Structure 1
């Protein structure tokens, strides 16, 4: 007898045989043939540039720093004088790259944009264990670089931790390897750290509590998921308010390599639904079994209900190390990863080249659509980020300790973009263009967005706010999409429409900061413009 997962996998493989790639939605393009570094951590800035960040202490990359800008570190185990870049700033519209200077080790670190648009970057290994760094973005033609804070450091070393911006604009930093506490930036407690026993309870012999999935709910509390468990955490009073039911299917966090996303906040923004998908079989990491099949189960829970339960369904096939990207439409792209093994160096096989589209409004059993496959394996240390033009930037993949180019899954320096079906040329006449938008909006305030559309608008044009998360290790820290309350589009001249919008009510629904604003017409998004929510 086939198990349900095996049967689904068999049917999917049969589907592939019958249908050619050309029949599946989505298109791929190569943006950069050689970025010089493999991006373990990736973030999109409000200037439409992309921060690429690997780690130091690994020897040469394929991109050099500017002349006379070498990093000198007598404790570096590989290069005491390192003249290679381990970070870069990419301009996707031109493919231009500028090397950035990073001094301390950012291996498996964490990050989050602050309310002023600065990228906060925390922790890592070695000399980066307690380090706090900032990157203040600038126009592509200007100069900006990493700043390593000297007067401020983390209270506890943070390696494999998760960051989340809070309603007041501060950031909570959760967990890390051998660390079962939380702390804040700026610090809000005398010793800087608060014990969080849940992380100890969620730890197993594989350390499946690393890179916990942290989502800020619209009630102001945190949904924190580690291993196969989740809690509702009141971080203000340091109280666990609720223990959620265990998620069936085994561990989902690093190194078992599932992924998670909070679905779009809609209507009155009072409810929030979390999805957790994929993961490795328990024991795959310990036993280093690279051929252990991943599972494809997904759990979905309405985290704000008084009596929440997990609703289970299966993806068409198993996946580990997949990235879940919130699209402007409210759908979720699941991309990258492998079908066997676990996270870690040389620990996975069978690259998963087929993206999936998760359609949350469809009934169970019909939510997943298989998309056009890529050709580049994106294994351990891959990333995926939504760009303002609606494409998804795909970067990274280095399943080796050093850069290695003569293996089955070599260090990957190519950067690609995946275009969902909504960017097909035949949909161009439905695509709105935002022509008027305020630079700043206030909580609960009304404002107008003016768009132009080639074809007459039929129905409601959505106005959706998308955050710019920090993507690393199969989880996008701080990712959220908020659908605003809008009026019907009112004609305002030839092909122009005015849409009255209401901003999110407070920082619990959307923390302060810069957001991409998308107008979405019958499922087709505009190019985003940036707005600051104050």
Structure 2
């Protein structure tokens, strides 16, 4: 082979490598940021300090994360280890990737939670000694914050329930194993109230657990369980209407589908609420494990429409126990899960390692894009949370009753981040951003985004993620005027805060600058 031929071959190889690398970037990329967190994350939530609360159950025996010199947890009610010097909760700090152990006393297995208006994480229920517990975690940037277990508890035991913060600042806690009621925390004199939907949907394998609860912009709740749903007035504790049954399989735990309310937009006066439900498991996959194929469908419903009905779509792959994350670009990331089986010990089959991007504003049939896959399976008891730098934090996966670090689908202690395609070169960033937003009030932000034609300011909540559902998740596209050049590649953007607490309940949110589809680091803002 002559020199000319070798040069042609060399350029061909370079071209192939460059094409392959570009393809990976276009599909996002993964990074393992912690090789051993010491605990397997069952629940996760991002605080307004940017660090992440990780939680597992307590009655599993020792974890691999020590509580610290001379610190132990003594709990005579623990089923596995009454004197335990290891942690079952931790605080993870992105960037430094540091892990700090936290002390949680009662069992948080399959519990629920949400941040309140002041950024405190309120955590409710669990199993055994934790079933009626209320716990608080007040975030901090240093090493002083830890879990506090309250003396008062829930009015009814809640295991596999869902929480949603309300416009009045309280949280509704919906359902749970053996429960057909809702209650409020703090109760403020309110009791427990029957929710007919939960009795109607309680089939032989209890497919109504971890119900999907979304606060609609009309101040009412959309609640979905199994395959049915209703509109619920939390102020009068009455069902306003029932919706058609979604076609296909059961969608809630243990059948493990997921749901989001698609982003609300100021351009539609925040009245454009649509619910998306994706995945699930064949009925009986939990009672008779055998790797039955998971659901491959998504359903989309406009709950405030005059005559709402389900519009069905087909995902690129079957998926059960996946997570759905609203991204700053107003798209939905469907990540984690398996192609068969159901949630529960050892029930996962054929892990799905490739996330899918759902583009809600594309035409039907052109909404799904398959992204880069991870080498690590993430099935039962895994989590996915949006970080303020735009990455998605992925942790957990334990399909065993106890920590099992060998064999098929071992307990996963590694933490990864997934960087979506919008985190490429030339990202925008804030030169100036507000620290707080008052309902309906105008504000301005300065965004550095050289050459940008379109700049969005999108507001994302920080949900409590567990069991394939991000409790309290919402994203708003704020009103913005045309960017005004401010020199040095920066633009001033005039905007307006959300209009009401039904659109955005009071609390801390991540405000993301998005320039021509590229996403910058968020600024934390307090709304209310």
TM-score for the superposition, normalised by structure 1: 0.93
Q: In the aligned structure 2, how far is the partner of 1:20 from the partner of 1:407?
A: 33
Moved over 4 A (4+): 19-22
Q: What is the rounded CA distance, in whole Å, between the counterparts of 2:135 and 2:71 in structure 1?
A: 18
Asked whether the 8 Å contact 2:44–2:466 carries over to 1, the reply is yes
Alpha-carbon separation, structure 2, partners of 1:144 and 1:97? 14
CA separation in 1, counterparts of 2:44 and 2:480? 32
How many angstroms apart in 2 are the aligned matches of 1:21 and 1:234? 51
Name 1:327's counterpart in structure 2.
327
- Are 2:454 and 1:452 equivalent residues in the alignment? no
1:57 offset after TM fit, Å? 1.0
Aligned residues: 506
Partner of 1:43: 45
Change (3 A) 1:22 1:439: closer
**1:422 is paired with a residue of what secondary structure?**
coil
Trace 1:78-477 onto structure 2 (pairs within 5 A): 78-139=80-141, 141-150=142-151, 152-190=152-190, 192-266=191-265, 267=267, 268-289=269-290, 291-424=291-424, 428-429=425-426, 431-453=427-449, 455-458=450-453, 460-477=454-471
CA deviation after TM superposition for structure 1 residue 20, in Å: 7.5
CA contact 1:22–1:372 (8 Å) conserved in 2: no
Secondary structure in 2 matching 1:476? strand
Per-residue CA deviations over 1:249-293 (Å, capped at 9, x if unaligned) read 02100000100011100121012001000111111111122x211
In the alignment, the residues of structure 2 paired with residue 53 and residue 432 of structure 1 have an alpha-carbon distance, to the nearest angstrom, of 33
Q: CA deviation at 1:66?
A: 1.1
Tell me, yes or no, if the aligned pair for 2:333 and 2:356 is still in contact at 8 Å.
yes
- Measure the CA separation in 1 of the matches of 2:334 and 2:272: 23
CA contact (8 A) 1:123 1:131 kept: yes
The structural deviation recorded for 1:336 is 0.3
Q: Distance in 1 between matches of 2:343 and 2:59?
A: 20
Q: Structure 1 residues 323 and 507 mapped into 2: Cα distance closer, same or farther (>3 Å)?
A: same
Counterparts in 2 of 1:23 and 1:530: CA distance versus 1, 3 Å: same
Q: CA RMSD in A?
A: 1.2
Structure 1 CA distance for aligned equivalents of residues 20 and 246 of structure 2:
36
Bigger drift between 392-401 and 20-29 goes to 20-29
Contact 1:271–1:303 under 8 Å retained in 2: no
Structure 2 gaps of 5+ residues are 1-18
In structure 2, distance between residues paired with 1:316 and 1:406 = 31
Distance 2:137 2:58 in 1: 17
Matches within 5 A, 1:472-511: 472-511=466-505
Given that 1:29 and 1:417 are in contact with CA atoms closer than 8 Å, whether structure 2 keeps it comes out as yes
CA distance, structure 2, for counterparts of residue 524 and residue 166 of structure 1: 32
Q: By how many angstroms is 1:22 displaced?
A: 7.2
Deviation track 1:274-328 (CA, whole Å, cap 9, x = no partner) reads 1000111111111122x21112110001111121110001001110000000000
Counterpart secondary structure, 2:344: coil
- DSSP-derived class of the 1:295 partner: coil
Contact 1:132 1:149 in 2 (8 A): yes
Q: Deviation per CA, 1:205-239, whole angstroms, max 9, x where unpaired?
A: 01000000000000000000000001000011111
- Residue in 2 aligned with 1:8? none
- Contact kept? 1:21, 1:373, Cα under 8 Å: no
Name the CA distance, whole Å, in 1 between partners of 2:202 and 2:462: 30
